[in-house]
Structure 1
Amino acid sequence: MPLLMAFRRWWAIFFVAVLALPTIGLVTPDLPGPMRTVLEPEEHWWEDAARRLDPYINNAFGFRGAVLAAHRRYLRFIDAPQGERVLQGENGSLFIRDNNALEQSIGQLVRPDAIADFVRVTAALDAKMKALGGHFVAMIPPNAHTVEFQDLPSYARRQKKAPTEYDLVDERMKAAGIPFVDLRPILADGKKDGRVYFRYDTHWNERGALLAFNAAMAAAGRPDLAVTPEEAYGAPVDKPSGDLLRLGGLDARDPPDQKLPWKEPFAEREEGLTPLTGVIEGGKESNLFPSQAFETGHAGPRIMVIGDSFTHGFWPGLLAARSSAFVWTHHQLCNFDQGVIDRFRPDILIYAPTERFFLCAGKKSGAAK
């Protein structure tokens, strides 16, 4: 009896040819593909092949360009994010994967040293403001994963653990007597009247930003500076773009996000504002988020915000309308220039790093001590 019956021999040839394709692809023309990031296996790869050899194989398989191009087309066909930076959630929602934001929000990542650093930095800022006779407020704008937890994939929701880093920060700040606003219940309550975060963008929307601003003013002892939604913004308009769509290589989605255009005088502007000189020193700036320092020409407290994109893109108009002078500067992971506080001498200082950026990086020369 032959090893292979006649009708099976053609199938054997076919399967051998298919198995040989990756090898053939190594020496035949291919479509252009992304630049290879690993050009050769690590030394002694056989001792830990899963870690040392896999990266090379992932960069050197046959027909790499064609396979990756087909994969991209497939992801676009099913409207799924490309790459590893964007997470697809429920109801079409998107979430950033950078900086372990998902693991942080569901309590799978807890860093006691980072929490201790946050308490230490805010305690020093609180002491400085008390010495200046002003008010200090700390707050952490939550990750979208924290506020829109119900839209995370079901596997992520099932892995939620307590306490999270945010829970521990809130607990430690209260124990230390440092003014801290837990924005989570405020934003959760605000969701009863509509979205407070964009669906396809990393950030909160104008409703969320206004809720946080008003909470900061109340915590600073100036509830009179709060702005009502009716004063602040107009009817919603479509926002077809979003940083998560861009990062995920996705087209505009339907329905689109909606933004709320700021009304005057709460829209960001520079007209009518006088730049403050001698407050911001060159060479100590964030490249993406340059500092702002202005006098507004009307009465009000001097307000300074140390924040990031959550406040940089949403609060300048509010600050201009509610202060006699204001400064916004980036926290730079605790490496901000603390000399700005001494030169500006604010009445209200707000420290507001986003949840995934609240930790401190290594100190640099001239940074906050």
Structure 2
Amino acid sequence: MAQTGARGIAVGRDGWLFWIGRKNELVDLYTDSPASRRLLRRWGRLVGTRVRRARALGATYVHAVVPEKLAIHADTLDKPFPSLNDPPGKRLGRLLAETEAELVDLYEPLRAARAEGPVYLKTDTHWNHRGYIAAYRALCAALGVTPAKHVLAATGETARFVFDLGGKLKPPVDETYFAHAFPRLAQRSEANALVQLRETGRVAGRGGFFVGSRAVMRNPEAADPRRIVLFGDSYVFDQGPRLTAMLAESFAEVHAIWSAEIDWAYVGAVKPDLVVYEIAERFLRRVPTDRFSVDAFAESRVRRELNPNLVERLRRLLGLR
């Protein structure tokens, strides 16, 4: 892969862009080394603990790793990359197979869908419409629910947009993509302070206002009456027809939280049937502690934004300037 002017991004054939990390973090993660094996063993122990904690609360814990784009679109790479046939998410899956953990395999469904066409956006780290449908089908199969027909029959239109990786190049590179949509039977019934702040437009275009987001979707017409608490990242929570919106068309109640940490107090209060955890493979580099309160974090983040003078006063009191 030829490195572009933007650090951490590599270019494959025909303009395909990949995140590899500014210090080759993805290479280190993918390489089967003593360090990566220790990391995955720590994840295995964490998932085992989560399975037991969820069971004690009357819920089933389900774990899903989103493969890196280069593992699925290896045919677009122009240089070798380590362990593409045995990525870290797959290696973690083998560790979890020795436990009672429920792991959703997204590799094979995405690779199967790849035979029909691209499943990731060319200039972004996220799936395109085909990838989201494949992941939704796989999750529904793992969770024992029939995919909603109106989600699978999604319609939409072709549009152009400058996505994340393309926007980091000079000049920026945009992409034509299919913006799919489906009728929404589920309705949002609740959103925390961080979601509400973003929706005011005050922090539009700024990072750092996503982790800690929480929203609740309810769907009285759903075929499955179960309640889900869903922890994940931008594959789950961001605007548009992503996994929160899709799963909310299948289940009666979905609590979506943008966090790699699990808020066990929240889970205990909601009493879900399922705790579903999604994480992008590149984020396996850090093992969470699960010491997290989503709404306390969100409210603190909003206060800091709305009261910048308070932060400045605290810095002075602490002698930080």
TM-score category (smaller protein): 0.7 to 0.9
Alpha-carbon contact 1:137-1:216 (below 8 Å) kept: no
Which among 308, 311, 316 is matched to residue 233 of structure 2? 308
1:244 counterpart residue number = 165
Question: Could you tell me how far 1:355 is from its partner in structure 2?
Answer: 0.2
Structure 2 distance, partners of 1:344, 1:203, is: 30
What are the superposed Cα offsets for residues 19-54 of structure 1, whole Å, 9 maximum, x if unpaired? xxxxxxxxxxxxxxxxxxxxxxxxxxxxxxxxxxxx
**1:107 aligned to 2:26?**
no
CA RMSD, 1 decimal: 3.1
1:328 counterpart residue number = 256
**1:185 aligned to 2:108?**
yes
What are the superposed Cα offsets for residues 235-266 of structure 1, whole Å, 9 maximum, x if unpaired? 4513331100112233335xx33133211127
Give the 3 Å change call, closer, same or farther, for CA 107–173 of structure 1 in structure 2: same
Structure 1 distance, partners of 2:41, 2:71, is: 21
Q: Identity over the aligned pairs, expressed in percent?
A: 18
Which among 194, 209, 212 is matched to residue 287 of structure 1? 209
2:148 counterpart residue number = 227
Alpha-carbon contact 1:216-1:350 (below 8 Å) kept: no
Q: Secondary structure at the match of 2:249?
A: helix
Alpha-carbon contact 1:94-1:199 (below 8 Å) kept: yes
Alignment of 1:1-369 (within 5 A): 81-98=4-21, 100=24, 102-103=26-27, 106-107=30-31, 111-154=36-79, 156-157=80-81, 159-160=82-83, 163-222=86-145, 224=146, 226-228=147-149, 231-253=152-174, 256-265=175-184, 272-275=187-190, 287-289=209-211, 290-299=213-222, 300-313=225-238, 314-332=242-260, 335-361=261-287, 363=289, 365-366=291-292
Question: Could you tell me how far 1:331 is from its partner in structure 2?
Answer: 2.9
What are the superposed Cα offsets for residues 262-300 of structure 1, whole Å, 9 maximum, x if unpaired? 11127xx8xx432278xx9xxxxx732411124334453
Question: Could you tell me how far 1:203 is from its partner in structure 2?
Answer: 0.7
What are the superposed Cα offsets for residues 316-336 of structure 1, whole Å, 9 maximum, x if unpaired? 22132222221111233xx33
Between the two proteins, the alignment pairs up a number of residues equal to 272
2:201 counterpart residue number = none
Give the 3 Å change call, closer, same or farther, for CA 161–93 of structure 1 in structure 2: closer
Mean Cα deviation higher: 287-296 or 99-108? 99-108
Q: Secondary structure at the match of 2:61?
A: strand
Structure 2 distance, partners of 1:236, 1:190, is: 20
Structure 2 distance, partners of 1:344, 1:211, is: 29
Question: Could you tell me how far 1:162 is from its partner in structure 2?
Answer: 6.5
Question: Could you tell me how far 1:207 is from its partner in structure 2?
Answer: 1.9
What are the superposed Cα offsets for residues 163-203 of structure 1, whole Å, 9 maximum, x if unpaired? 54223201101122311122111100011222210000111
2:200 counterpart residue number = none
Question: Could you tell me how far 1:337 is from its partner in structure 2?
Answer: 1.8
Structure 1 or 2: larger strand share? 2
Give the 3 Å change call, closer, same or farther, for CA 329–273 of structure 1 in structure 2: closer
Alpha-carbon contact 1:96-1:244 (below 8 Å) kept: yes
Give the 3 Å change call, closer, same or farther, for CA 117–232 of structure 1 in structure 2: farther
Alpha-carbon contact 1:275-1:295 (below 8 Å) kept: no
Alpha-carbon contact 1:295-1:324 (below 8 Å) kept: yes
Give the 3 Å change call, closer, same or farther, for CA 174–235 of structure 1 in structure 2: same
Alpha-carbon contact 1:105-1:146 (below 8 Å) kept: no
Give the 3 Å change call, closer, same or farther, for CA 96–172 of structure 1 in structure 2: same
Structure 2 distance, partners of 1:344, 1:232, is: 32
Structure 1 distance, partners of 2:88, 2:190, is: 38
User: Which is greater in Rg?
Assistant: 1
1:74 counterpart residue number = none
Give the 3 Å change call, closer, same or farther, for CA 276–311 of structure 1 in structure 2: closer
The amino acid that maps onto 1:203 is H
Structure 2 distance, partners of 1:162, 1:273, is: 40
Q: Secondary structure at the match of 2:98?
A: helix
Unaligned runs of 5+ in 1: 1-78, 281-285
Q: Secondary structure at the match of 1:202?
A: coil
Give the 3 Å change call, closer, same or farther, for CA 101–203 of structure 1 in structure 2: farther
Give the 3 Å change call, closer, same or farther, for CA 229–114 of structure 1 in structure 2: farther
Give the structure-2-normalised TM-score: 0.73
Structure 2 distance, partners of 1:133, 1:90, is: 49
